[in-house]
Amino acid sequence: MRPGVFLLILCAILTACGSSKDVAPAPSSSVSGPLHTLPSAHPPTFHVDDPGAGTAQGYVFVGQKGGAKKPSGAVIADSRGRILWYHEVPEGREVTDFRAQTYKGKPVLTWWQGQIAKAGFGTGAYEIYDNSYHQVAELKARDGLDGDLHEFQLTPRGTAYISIYKELPYDLSSVGGPKHGWVEDSVVQELDIATGKVVFEWHSLDHVPLSESVLAHKEPALHAKKTRAFDYFHVNSVADGPNNTILLSARNSSALYLLKRDGSIAWRLGGTKSDFGPPSAVKFFFQHNARFHGPDTISLFDNGGIPKLEPYTRPFIMKIDPAAKTVHIAKTFLPPKRIASPFEGNLQLLPNGGAFVGWGGVPKVTEFSPAGKVVFQMTLPYGDTYRGYRLPWDGDPGGKPSVAVSGRTVYASWNGKLGIARWRVKADGKAIATARWAGLETAITLPQAAKKVSVEALDADGDSLGSS
């Protein structure tokens, strides 16, 4: 969710070797665009607040949202904030939920890209790229609907869950609004990736009454109209549950819903009609990113710190007993300096027992050790994170490195190539300089002028990965 919706709610409530002269690269952790070797790219520059120690394996994945005036793109970075791969989307579009997933047993990159309205909804498409950074699929919502930014979750069945918002004329008198008002219907589609066909579709208005919304009898329900429809449900995450069920998170009812395949609701957790008790056991508000981890464990990003219904934002793990209908918080991940995020956010549980958190409306990502200690934190230069991840990745763009020269400075890049430790610059077949890899583009000052140069990427053992 973006600030426009939030305001409405506020109204309601490396090592290497080289034989030539070693030249230090530019000191920035990532190069601000446009780049010399990638002139159409304008990558962000990240600031690592806490480099820590003991991070889990993998790279940092974020979708850098730009808003109306800043570039937006999908970013893979290392723990020093240096960018390994950057994919900028066309001007006027933004990226959300960028991560690595699995399709047909192979690792792929996935994200949503499109336009985001002030109300916090998106209109766009869902991208799938292979490990050579080529598009293998693009999905769009079906039945004349527009694909929203909040969810793009792949399943082992070769399908994907997406979220959709649809404005409809509706009688809102039951919640204090106009009889001839407008409402946002939250829609979930499960699409077959290969064909794009719908294999499951669910509409909130068919199953959840307006009265479950925390905004009932408040703004914007009271004066809802087509240009500002009553967003009573606001689905923001969709994922598989146990025994062929589907788990939904609805921000504006402060509740989770477990769906059966016939669309009926198996149970509610949280909100005004929770099936789990006692009511004081677990409370959360305006939450995001609900995920099952086995039949009795759910991770959740609780946004209750803004509006201030709780002291701060709480990414936590819940243990549930579906038979006894009981629930309790098993573990919470909190940085020493507490954070209150007004919208968005996610909690990713890591294989080592730790966690990675994207703070949504606060442009930071944080990694926690299994003991709950902060081992890494990074700040984005602008926008917000929506979600952030630490994930393994083994991509190879193929081709050759790119090189550009300006005066006595050589610029080298190989977007998406992993394992580069150093760059070696050659002139007339002889090495004249080397420099440590510094991110997406490395600037190398030559000790002498050269009419024609090439660059060679070296791994940590000094072996060549490829030359321009």
CA distance 330 to 282: 11
| CA torsion angle 169 173 177 178 (round to 10) | 60
CATH number of 42-391, picked from 2.60.40.1180, 3.40.640.10, 3.20.20.150, 2.120.10.30? 2.120.10.30
Is 5 in a helix, a strand, or coil? helix
423: which strand partners? 435, 457
pLDDT, tens digit, 9 for 90 and up, residues 190-231: 999 999 999 999 999 999 999 999 999 999 899 999 999 999
Return the CA Rg of the chain.
24
CA distance 358 to 75: 14
Ranges of H-type helices in 72-144: none
Tokens found for residue 49: 């607040």
Per-residue pLDDT for 368 more than 60? Answer: yes
| CA torsion angle 433 434 440 443 (round to 10) | -40
User: Distances from the Cα of 107 to the Cαs of 33, 98, 182, 330, in angstroms?
Assistant: 29, 13, 42, 31
DSSP assigned state of 120: S
CA distance 202 to 190: 9
Is 48 in a helix, a strand, or coil? strand
Tokens found for residue 434: 């080397």
Tokens found for residue 240: 């598989």
Task: Read off φ and ψ for residue 4, nearest 5 degrees.
Answer: -60, -40
**pLDDT for the residue numbered 25:** 35
Is 174 in a helix, a strand, or coil? helix
Could you tell me the residue ranges of all domains in the chain? 15-31+401-468, 42-391
**pLDDT for the residue numbered 117:** 85
Tokens found for residue 263: 């669309």
| Residues 128 and 107 sit within 8 Å (Cβ to Cβ) | no
CA distance 202 to 207: 9
* Least confident window among 138-152, 205-219, 258-272, 276-290: 276-290
DSSP of 226-239, one letter per residue? TTB-B--S-EEEEE
| CA torsion angle 238 351 105 132 (round to 10) | 100
pLDDT, tens digit, 9 for 90 and up, residues 124-134: 999 999 999 99
With CA atoms as reference, report the closest residue to 42 among 453, 441, 421. Answer: 441
CA distance 287 to 241: 18
CA distance 451 to 433: 15
pLDDT, tens digit, 9 for 90 and up, residues 448-465: 888 789 999 999 999 999
CATH entry 1.10.287 includes domain 15-31+401-468: no
With CA atoms as reference, report the closest residue to 65 among 111, 126, 4. Answer: 111
pLDDT, tens digit, 9 for 90 and up, residues 33-51: 679 999 999 999 999 998 8
DSSP of 313-340, one letter per residue? -EEEEEEEETTTTEEEEEEE---SS---
